[in-house]
Amino acid sequence: MSDTPDSVVRTYIERHRAAFLDDLAAWLRIPSVSALPEHRDDVRRSAEWLAAKLARTGFPVAEIWPTAGAPAVFAEWPSGDPDAPTVLVYGHHDVQPAAREDGWHSDPFEPEIRDGRMYARGAADDKGQVFFHTLGLRAHLAATGRTAPAVNLKLLVEGEEESGSPHFRALVEERADRLAADAVVVSDTGMWSESTPTVCTGMRGVADCEITFRGPDQDIHSGSFGGAVPNPATVAARVVAALHDADERVAVPGFYDGVTPLTDDERELFAELPFDEEAWLRTARSHGTLGEAGYSTLERVWARPTAEVNGIGGGYQGPGGKTIVPASAMVKLSFRLVDGQDPEKIERAVTDWVAGQVPAGIRHEIVFGAPTRPCLTPLDHPALQSVVRSMSRAFDGRTIRFTREGGSGPAADLRDVLGAPVLFLGISVPSDGWHSPDEKVELELLLKGAETTAHLWGDMAETMR
Amino acid sequence: MSDTPDSVVRTYIERHRAAFLDDLAAWLRIPSVSALPEHRDDVRRSAEWLAAKLARTGFPVAEIWPTAGAPAVFAEWPSGDPDAPTVLVYGHHDVQPAAREDGWHSDPFEPEIRDGRMYARGAADDKGQVFFHTLGLRAHLAATGRTAPAVNLKLLVEGEEESGSPHFRALVEERADRLAADAVVVSDTGMWSESTPTVCTGMRGVADCEITFRGPDQDIHSGSFGGAVPNPATVAARVVAALHDADERVAVPGFYDGVTPLTDDERELFAELPFDEEAWLRTARSHGTLGEAGYSTLERVWARPTAEVNGIGGGYQGPGGKTIVPASAMVKLSFRLVDGQDPEKIERAVTDWVAGQVPAGIRHEIVFGAPTRPCLTPLDHPALQSVVRSMSRAFDGRTIRFTREGGSGPAADLRDVLGAPVLFLGISVPSDGWHSPDEKVELELLLKGAETTAHLWGDMAETMR
């Protein structure tokens, strides 16, 4: 290997690989489960461990930021160059619950390396993906001979992502000055597969609601009254049934207003991926596909807004029969939103539409949860090319393709509050088992993540100058 | 009062009123709750008490008939006249559960007379209505000077009606020879109101089913997979929504095949009743009417078949949101059936129709409960006029109008197995609170029930000869 910057990076990472993995394992041993009150101290310990580690990595600023819930970690390392752009890296240090008896082959909080993989809760989601930044940053400094990164680097690692980030937006708003950045790099996603490195360019937003329909003041006899009074379970079902038209498009008027359409280029980029529908159905544990006419499965879950009933209930659900007209019924709906859709407008459109579906004699109420906004990286944003180039260098010159993520996350809060574009840099693969037993991270990919960031800061400093 | 047969009957009943009410109260003190295993002995005691009482009333035959569940009571008193018709009276001696803390103003199993009403569980449903037959029969003998009734009188008083009569049809089939009759008189219904005496001429049948829809093998992430795979809760809702057309007619093909239409005469008879829709809505505890286009509320609940969703459930029903595509959903449907509809044909029609609603990727199963057949008394049947005439004599010559019952009962089993028409003779009023706290019976109506039967056996013996 000649002494190119790339080979220096690779050599640095190889040399520090063992210590890096030891450190990561130490962090993974802290069961920072944000959902469980009995792990509150562990979440705090996890934040303290990370802040200390970032300080030792060289960050001049490494702070614990308390919230109304679990604490976040903030770190900052100015580049020293007044023209350097500022980049904020986002991740989270809390993890999903895990117990050996859930089906783990080793203790979820005692990391174990088997066949080139590290098995532990949080190995991929998200401690591993946060932690590769420490190694990548040191490699960046080693390869460039710098004493500070080429960009003003900031890190925000929250402690409540697995609990729905309930205090995240308030934290970002409150600390907007210190978080100010020209771009945000979110390291909490994945890529297509080990052999197909990809960059995610968007996550969907989500708005969800619960609608309660009330009919008679109590369950009443369906023989004496049924067929002559409106049944709230029928009304609930009719609302759900009316949610989609015959083409499986969402039938709420105005729902598609403003939706950024898929361009031909984007559809081609999706189509280039080696998608195997049967394998996808196995992952979905489903037995058929069904969705909006005119779009492929990937387009449906990545780039099109959807409406889904997450729960429905009313009347008698026990064993046997009970011939009643139920007093009430409810549905829980969620709407995945894409770029161009505004959750507040969607909430108004859904509220108006539901009101128009309810017959006289049925009273209803609709309650929305806090929405998450969609987040799309413009394909032509120069910083996106930095990510693609850096990743390609780490992946031996391979073509980097593009994906999106059908789910939703707090990335849009950073974009909206800070006014900065969001880039996704994730190295996890679908087999990593996020939220499942035997979560793991591929060590080779973890190191390629570090290698990517070792190139990224210099590239972004050039590109965004 | 001159010494007409009517005045003899009335005098007899007045004289024996106190002893009759004492006896009824003693029977009501036995808490014969068939639904609760801890009352099994009480149900048996209730049967024994009744059989003994019927023997003392004069029935030469009074037997306990065991079933696979609770025992029934059978009694028989032949008329001695070889040309006399045979009449079977049906009722039940079991009652609904009741506890003081449900809202009763006195102990439900310690009968109390207040303001001309007897309050107790079973006072109207159905011990009171069975028991007036004993007084009426003795008055019939006193007024006619007979030593045996004018008809061959049989009584069948089952012990499981409040538990859905699970062993009744088998009992009737097994004992069909001993139950053989020319007409059946069912005393387990009501009339319009104290001031509007009526005869019920029909009960609806019912077929019910539970349909389970299965989608993914487990709940899956609605962000990653929603909108691209079929959602079983959506399919359940679509089936319920498709159950009725825009006119609120049942949309299952063939559902109305064979339905005996309401004649103009029948619609006129319904329209003669002093129906107050606002009062009816208060009784229904409902806030609006909705039903099959072209029919009045009474026609909808009495004479038209209906489809109702009694329960629906699927996915997440707890507090807050959970963005999943649920693994399964279920609906419980019931269909009220009217004369001319065959439950087996309805089950086949529903099964076929549901199968046609289910998209690829969703598996479903449908399970029906035991159906109850509809039962309609032909308005032109001569025995019906006997009931009307006898009732009018008891009610001081008032016009007797006609109602039907929207609910369902085992009457059709008697009709079908024994091949005899069913007549309904009930004196309960809507305010009697069947199945509710403070169930009561109006004493004046209870005695008019006895008076009706005192006239009825002679009239039927003449009319059906």
DSSP calls for A348-392: HHHHHHHHHHPPTT-EEEEEE---B--EE--TT-HHHHHHHHHHH
Q: From CA B239, how far away is CA B253, in angstroms rounded?
A: 14
CB pairs under 8 A between A and B: 299
Residue contact A290–B230, C-beta within 8 A: yes
Among B329, B439, B448, B462, CA closest to B97 = B439
Amino acid at A437: P
Task: Among A210, A222, A241, select the one facing B310 at the smallest CB separation.
Answer: A222
pLDDT of residue A116: 98
B190 DSSP 8-state letter: B
Q: From CA B250, how far away is CA B335, in angstroms rounded?
A: 9
Per-window interface: B 401-420 vs A, CB < 8 A: 405-408
- Span(s) in chain A for CATH 3.40.630.10: 5-203+375-463
Task: Among A228, A244, A329, select the one facing B312 at the smallest CB separation.
Answer: A329
Residue contact A336–B226, C-beta within 8 A: yes
pLDDT of residue B265: 92
ipTM of the complex: 0.91
pLDDT of residue B3: 65
3-state class percentages of chain A: helix first, strand second, coil last, to nearest 5:
35, 25, 40
- List CB contacts (< 8 A) between A311 and chain B: 233, 314-317, 322, 326
Beta bridge partners of B282: none
Residue contact B223–A336, C-beta within 8 A: yes
Per-window interface: B 147-176 vs A, CB < 8 A: none
Cα–Cα–Cα angle for A446, A451, A455, rounded to 5 degrees: 145
Tell which of B240, B295, B336, B362 to mutate to test the A interface (max A CBs under 10 Å).
Answer: B240
Residue contact A312–B309, C-beta within 8 A: no
User: For the domain bounded by A5-203+375-463, which CATH number is listed?
Assistant: 3.40.630.10
Q: By the CB < 8 Å criterion, does B210 face chain A?
A: yes
Q: From CA B428, how far away is CA B431, in angstroms rounded?
A: 8
- List CB contacts (< 8 A) between A234 and chain B: 240-241, 243-244, 308-309
Q: By the CB < 8 Å criterion, does A240 face chain B?
A: yes
Tell which of A96, A188, A210, A229 to mutate to test the B interface (max B CBs under 10 Å).
Answer: A229
- The nearest CA of chain B is from the CA of A342 a distance in Å of 17
Q: By the CB < 8 Å criterion, does A332 face chain B?
A: yes
Which chain B residue has the Cα nearest residue A329? B312
pLDDT of residue B1: 42
**A376 backbone dihedrals φ, ψ, rounded to 5°:** -125, 130
Residue contact A369–B224, C-beta within 8 A: no
pLDDT of residue A1: 42
Among A301, A283, A300, CA closest to A432 = A283
- Span(s) in chain B for CATH 3.30.70.360: 205-259+305-368
- List CB contacts (< 8 A) between A210 and chain B: 321
Q: By the CB < 8 Å criterion, does B57 face chain A?
A: no
**Percent share of chain A, pLDDT over 90:** 93
Residue contact A233–B311, C-beta within 8 A: yes
Residue contact A220–B284, C-beta within 8 A: yes
- pLDDT tens for chain A, residues 1 to 465: 456 889 999 999 999 999 999 999 999 999 999 999 999 999 999 999 999 999 999 999 999 999 999 999 999 999 999 999 999 999 999 999 999 999 999 999 999 999 999 999 999 999 999 999 999 999 999 999 999 999 999 999 999 999 889 899 999 999 999 999 999 999 999 999 999 999 999 999 999 999 999 999 999 999 999 999 999 999 999 999 999 999 999 999 999 999 999 999 999 999 999 999 999 999 999 999 999 999 999 999 999 999 999 999 999 999 988 889 999 999 999 999 999 999 999 999 999 999 999 999 999 999 999 899 999 998 889 999 999 999 999 999 999 999 999 998 889 999 999 999 999 999 999 899 998 899 999 999 999 999 999 999 999 999 998
3-state helix/strand/coil string of A204-267: CEEEEEEEEEECCCCCEECCCCECCECCHHHHHHHHHHHCECCCCCECCCCCCCCCCCCCHHHH
- pLDDT tens for chain B, residues 1 to 465: 456 889 999 999 999 999 999 999 999 999 999 999 999 999 999 999 999 999 999 999 999 999 999 999 999 999 999 999 999 999 999 999 999 999 999 999 999 999 999 999 999 999 999 999 999 999 999 999 999 999 999 999 999 999 889 899 999 999 999 999 999 999 999 999 999 999 999 999 999 999 999 999 999 999 999 999 999 999 999 999 999 999 999 999 999 999 999 999 999 999 999 999 999 999 999 999 999 999 999 999 999 999 999 999 999 999 988 889 999 999 999 999 999 999 999 999 999 999 999 999 999 999 999 899 999 998 889 999 999 999 999 999 999 999 999 998 889 999 999 999 999 999 999 899 998 899 999 999 999 999 999 999 999 999 998
> Which tokens hold the place of A170?
């308030």
Q: By the CB < 8 Å criterion, does A379 face chain B?
A: no
Residue contact B312–A325, C-beta within 8 A: no
Where does residue A137 rank: exposed (0-12), middle (13-18), buried (19+ CB within 10 A)?
Answer: buried
> Which tokens hold the place of A173?
């708003």
* H or E element, residue B278: helix B277-284
- List CB contacts (< 8 A) between A292 and chain B: 227
Residue contact A288–B361, C-beta within 8 A: yes
Which chain A residue has the Cα nearest residue B288? A361
Q: Does domain B205-259+305-368 have CATH number 3.30.70.360?
A: yes
Q: By the CB < 8 Å criterion, does B351 face chain A?
A: no
Among B215, B249, B219, CA closest to B234 = B215
Tell me how far the alpha carbon of residue B387 is from its chain's centroid.
18
Residue contact B223–A320, C-beta within 8 A: no
Per-window interface: B 265-284 vs A, CB < 8 A: 281, 284
> CB neighbours of A209 closer than 8 A, spacing ≥ 6?
A332, A333, A334, A347, A350, A366, A367, A368, A369
Residue contact B301–A224, C-beta within 8 A: yes
- List CB contacts (< 8 A) between B204 and chain A: 223
Tell which of B224, B243, B248, B431 to mutate to test the A interface (max A CBs under 10 Å).
Answer: B224
Which chain A residue has the Cα nearest residue B248? A227
Residue contact A287–B216, C-beta within 8 A: yes
Residue contact A234–B309, C-beta within 8 A: yes
Which chain A residue has the Cα nearest residue B250? A227
Task: Among B206, B227, B242, select the one facing A336 at the smallest CB separation.
Answer: B227
- List CB contacts (< 8 A) between B311 and chain A: 233, 314-317, 322, 326
- List CB contacts (< 8 A) between B284 and chain A: 216, 220, 224-225, 228-229
* H or E element, residue A50: helix A40-57
Q: By the CB < 8 Å criterion, does A195 face chain B?
A: no
- The nearest CA of chain A is from the CA of B329 a distance in Å of 8
Using DSSP's 3-state secondary structure scheme, residue B184 falls into strand
- List CB contacts (< 8 A) between B307 and chain A: 227
Which chain A residue has the Cα nearest residue B362? A287
- Span(s) in chain B for CATH 3.40.630.10: 5-203+374-463
The residue written with tokens 């039940």 in the block is: B92
Q: By the CB < 8 Å criterion, does B378 face chain A?
A: no
- The nearest CA of chain B is from the CA of A409 a distance in Å of 10
> How many CB atoms within 10 Å of residue A407?
19
Task: Among B233, B297, B310, select the one facing A316 at the smallest CB separation.
Answer: B310
pLDDT of residue A2: 52
- List CB contacts (< 8 A) between B218 and chain A: 285
User: For the domain bounded by B5-203+374-463, which CATH number is listed?
Assistant: 3.40.630.10
